[in-house]
Amino acid sequence: MADVDLVVLLEPAVAEQIRQGHVDAGPARAIIDTIQAAEGTLTPLHPQTANVALPRDMLSSFVFTAPPGSEVDTLAVRIRSLPGVETAYVKPRGEAP
């Protein structure tokens, strides 16, 4: 079974902290701890390049890749319950986020 992706939309300030690696405390730390406990990865949906400025909502979108066999629906509920998370949902196979 392949990895499964969840699309995660964060509050802009929390997204900025995670993008910059400032996850020492608060909501950003709780989100990263949850991702690590699930043995997944969190990456920006739209990686920012030096020459392109992205709209704020695009900068707040991330993809959480869960390992095979993960209970993705349970993970989505857990992530949605965290402070700093606006929403999280399972990305249907073959569909754009």
* Tokens linked to 80: 């949605």
pLDDT of residue 22: 87
pLDDT averaged over the chain? 84
pLDDT of residue 92: 62
Q: What is the pLDDT of residues 57-86, one digit of tens each?
A: 788 999 988 887 788 889 999 999 999 999
Residues 40 and 91: their CA atoms lie apart, in Å, by 15
Domains of the chain: 4-90 (3.30.70.260)
Q: Judge whether residue 1 has pLDDT over 60.
A: no
Q: Which distant-in-sequence residues (6+ apart) come within 8 Å of 93 by Cβ?
A: none
Query: How far out from the chain centre does Cα 30 lie?
Result: 12
pTM of this structure:
0.82
